[in-house]
């Protein structure tokens, strides 16, 4: 029997007469499988990593195996592909021949993002493991746009659906994005992009299958590690029909390697790593048979697994430390969300609009009265006094209503804030400073994180505030500190954190800037991130305008020039709805 390395139906076959030394060396080749019925060793082409190819060539040279031209060509092509993926994975700068994608004015890719786009485009199926804040969504979106892989289905968390819509429409210039809400299925309109949350994918699966989608992005894919869950089953079935699939996560798996096996199946890259899930788990976990079935615990050969994932184009990982030179010293991000109490918000908003209309109507009546009656002298003074008194009363009423509106929108963002904070805690090992103004919002957040949070609140004494500050900065188990915007915006060092989350907007941007500065420290070199949760179609979207008109409001309350009342145009029906 000759010693031959050949190819047959996607497998590299190693044939040789019995030789204990050869058997020992073949067993050391990663990915090899012994097929008992054929009495031969097999290496699936999909599992040809750089290390595997090197071992095959060493086997050929050491024992004078004959290798067919077809196998030589396959090994050369795979080796070049492996090297290319590995180089792109290690590259933190602009690659040669970068992929060009049209972006909105003022938006630019960082070097590592351009390398990532090229990796994803060449891979087609991949897990993008960028750490939080490194731009997973725009990188994956750019790859889809370059491939023109539309329609695209995006499966994400409930709180980030609007964020994805903004990424495509405002940055990637892809229009016609449809957000799917609720569990009740319906005929989906024709769109380029469909966005829905994890919890409802199983309810809309049948209609999604009808779309003939060309690409699928699953954000926070670590939530699809349970093969028995309805959402994972739906994702696997959906993915089988879609050629381009990307999974996004800052944490590859939460609990064990078995979860990773399921995730690889969802994205469609399992064939690159192992013959099937059973083979994967036996290779990379401590598999034991307990008499009733197989139990897969812990992990082994993890360095080999990491190399195989990267070189096969299946996994791209970047941390902030990897790309720190490209990150700005302070990065500010707005997180658009939908509020959960829209009906309540609309009722309060209607009251604001009604009162503002009364102010504007009174101003109009006052001007008409002056013009029609030629009022002057003492009569003009009395008319102005009466008008100003009525105006002050109405303005005070508006301010009270706006306060209620802000508190309402704050409560409406709590669910989104909790979801975002949970993702941050799970995906990073960092600490987080969270600012909220209203006590109802502060209390709701503290209730959700009772064990790993501290707080600095207005009702706390100076001693308790200092105690909580020290606890946050020194205790590694206290990952979150919930802060009153008014109580903790000045004179407090929270520099053990690199990230601030503002859950509510305040009238004065200087107060929010001061609050964000609590994580700064002289000599600190880590990039800092400031996040603002902004409610769509709400007063949040007009906060900057309201802040810029604050001085005008003060003058209006004091009864000065009537043109200062233009501030209230922010609450006219036409302004709020456009």
- Label each residue of 307-373 as H, E or C: HHHHHCCCEEEECCCCCHHHCCCEEEEEEEECCCCHHHHHHHHHHHHHHHHHHHHHHHHHHHHHHHH
* C-beta separation of 143 from 88 below 8 A: no
The sheet that has 315-318: what strands, in order across it? 177-179, 193-197, 152-156, 215-219, 244-248, 125-130, 315-318
Q: How far apart are CA 490 and CA 475, in angstroms?
A: 22
Query: What is residue 378's predicted lDDT score, i.e. its pLDDT?
Result: 56
pLDDT at site 198: 96
CB-CB contact of 119 with 147 (8 Å): no
Q: What is the overall mean pLDDT for the chain?
A: 87
**Mean pLDDT on 5-13:** 92
255 to each of 64, 224, 351, 415, how far by Cα in Å?
45, 12, 50, 25
| pLDDT tens per residue across span 377-389 | 556 666 667 667 7
CA dihedral (247, 250, 253, 257) positive or negative: positive
- Which residue carries 């769509």 as its tokens? 536
Helix (H, G, I), strand (E, B) or coil at 66: strand
Are residues 203 and 183 in contact, defined by beta-carbon separation less than 8 angstroms? yes
* Alpha-carbon gap, residue 267 to 263, rounded angstroms: 6
154-158, 258-262, 334-338, 553-557: least confident range: 553-557
- Segment holding 488, helix H or strand E: none
Per the DSSP assignment, residues forming a β-bridge with 528 are 330
Taking the C-alpha atoms of residue 360 and residue 281, their distance in angstroms, rounded to an integer, is 71
The answer to whether residues 261 and 270 touch, using CB atoms and an 8 Å cutoff, is yes
Q: What is the rounded distance in angstroms from the CA atom of residue 218 to the CA atom of residue 269? A: 14
Model confidence at 443: pLDDT above 80: yes
pLDDT at 76: 92
Q: Which of 132-141, 332-341, 481-490, 508-517 has the lowest mean pLDDT?
A: 508-517
| Res 136 pLDDT > 90 | yes
For residue 124, pLDDT over 90 is answered with: yes
- Give 223-264 pLDDT, tens digit per residue: 999 999 999 999 999 999 999 999 999 888 777 899 999 999
Cα four-point dihedral sign 553, 556, 561, 563: positive
Other CB atoms within 10 Å distance of the CB of residue 275: 17
Q: Which residue has the tokens 């009656």?
A: 373
State the pLDDT at residue 373. Answer: 61
Residue 357 has what pLDDT?
78
Q: How confident is the model at residue 276 (pLDDT cuts 50, 70, 90)?
A: confident
Residue 548's pLDDT band, with cuts at 50, 70 and 90, is very low
Indicate the burial class of 522 (C-beta count within 10 angstroms; 0-12, 13-18, 19 or more): exposed
The tens digit of pLDDT for each residue in 280-335 reads 999 899 999 988 999 998 889 888 889 889 988 999 999 888 998 888 888 888 89
| Rounded CA separation 439/366 (Å) | 40
pLDDT at 62: 94
Whether pLDDT at 573 is above 50: no
pLDDT of 564 over the 60 cut: no
DSSP label of 182: S
160 or 541: which leads in pLDDT:
160
Q: How confident is the model at residue 275 (pLDDT cuts 50, 70, 90)?
A: confident
Residue with tokens 């009270």: 400
Best mean pLDDT range from 52-56, 262-266, 324-328, 489-493: 262-266
Q: What percent of the chain has pLDDT over 90?
A: 59
Backbone angles phi, psi at 280, to 5 degrees: -60, -50
For 440-466, letters b (16+ CB in 10 Å) and e give ebbebbbebbeeebbbbbeebeeeebe
pLDDT confidence tier of residue 526, bands split at 50, 70 and 90? confident
Distance (Å, rounded) from C-alpha 277 to C-alpha 34?
A: 17
pLDDT of 455-469, one tens digit each? 999 999 999 999 999
Choice among 251-260, 309-318, 345-354, 440-449 with the minimum mean pLDDT: 251-260
What is the pLDDT at residue 574? 40
Pick from 518, 131, 169, 160: which is nearest to 326 by CA?
A: 131
What is residue 519's DSSP assignment?
G
The b/e string for 314-337 (b: 16+ C-beta within 10 A; e otherwise) is bbbbbebeebeeebeeeeeeebbb
């Amino acid at each position: 029997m000759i010693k031959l390395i050949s190819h047959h139906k996607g497998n590299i076959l190693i044939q040789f007469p019995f030789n204990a030394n050869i058997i020992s060396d073949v067993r050391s080749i990663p990915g090899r499988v012994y097929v008992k019925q054929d009495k031969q060793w097999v290496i699936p082409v999909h599992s040809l990593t750089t290390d595997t190819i090197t071992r095959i060539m060493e086997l050929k040279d050491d024992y004078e195996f004959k290798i067919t031209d077809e196998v030589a060509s396959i090994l050369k092509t795979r080796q070049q592909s492996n090297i290319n993926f590995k180089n792109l994975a290690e590259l933190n700068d602009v690659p040669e021949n970068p992929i060009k994608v049209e972006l909105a004015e003022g938006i630019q890719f960082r070097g590592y993002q351009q390398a990532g786009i090229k990796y994803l485009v060449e891979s087609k199926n991949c897990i993008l493991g960028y750490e939080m804040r490194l731009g997973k969504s725009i990188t994956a979106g750019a790859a889809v746009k370059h491939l023109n892989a539309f329609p695209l289905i995006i499966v994400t968390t409930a709180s980030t659906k609007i964020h994805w819509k903004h990424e495509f429409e405002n940055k990637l210039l892809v229009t016609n994005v449809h957000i799917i809400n609720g569990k009740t299925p319906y005929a989906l309109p024709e769109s380029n992009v469909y966005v829905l949350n994890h919890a409802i994918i199983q309810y809309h699966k049948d209609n999604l299958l009808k779309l003939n989608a060309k690409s699928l992005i699953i954000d926070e894919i670590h939530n699809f590690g349970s093969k028995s869950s309805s959402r994972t089953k739906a994702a696997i079935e959906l993915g089988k029909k879609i050629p381009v699939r990307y999974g996004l996560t800052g944490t590859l798996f939460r609990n064990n390697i078995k979860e990773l096996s399921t995730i690889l199946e969802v994205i469609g890259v399992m064939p690159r790593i192992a013959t099937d899930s059973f083979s994967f788990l036996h290779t990379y976990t401590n598999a034991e048979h307990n008499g009733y079935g197989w139990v897969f615990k812990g992990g082994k050969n993890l360095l080999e697994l990491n190399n195989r994932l990267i070189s096969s184009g299946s996994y791209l990982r970047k941390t902030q430390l990897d790309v720190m030179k490209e990150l700005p010293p302070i990065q500010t991000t707005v997180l658009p969300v939908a509020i959960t109490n829209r009906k309540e918000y609309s009722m309060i908003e209607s009251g604001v609009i009604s009162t503002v209309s009364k102010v504007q109507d009174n101003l109009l009546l006052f001007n008409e009265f002056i013009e029609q009656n030629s009022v002057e002298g003492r009569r003009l003074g009395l008319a102005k006094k009466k008008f100003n008194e009525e105006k002050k009363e109405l303005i005070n009423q508006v301010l009270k209503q706006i306060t209620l509106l802000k508190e309402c929108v704050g409560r409406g963002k709590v669910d989104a804030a909790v979801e975002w904070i949970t993702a941050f805690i799970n995906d990073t090992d960092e600490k987080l400073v969270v600012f909220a103004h209203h006590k109802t919002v502060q209390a709701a957040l503290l209730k959700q994180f009772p064990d790993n949070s501290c707080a600095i609140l207005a009702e706390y004494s100076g001693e308790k505030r200092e105690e909580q500050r020290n606890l946050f900065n020194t205790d590694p188990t206290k990952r979150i500190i919930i802060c009153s915007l008014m109580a903790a915006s000045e004179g407090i060092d929270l520099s053990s954190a690199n990230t601030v989350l503002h859950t509510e907007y305040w009238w004065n941007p200087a107060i929010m800037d001061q609050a964000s500065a609590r994580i700064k420290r002289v000599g600190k070199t880590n990039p800092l991130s400031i996040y603002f949760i902004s409610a769509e179609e709400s007063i949040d979207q007009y906060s900057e305008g309201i802040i810029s008109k604050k001085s005008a409001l003060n003058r209006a309350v004091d009864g000065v020039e009537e043109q200062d009342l233009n501030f209230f145009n922010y609450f006219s029906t036409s302004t709020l709805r456009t």
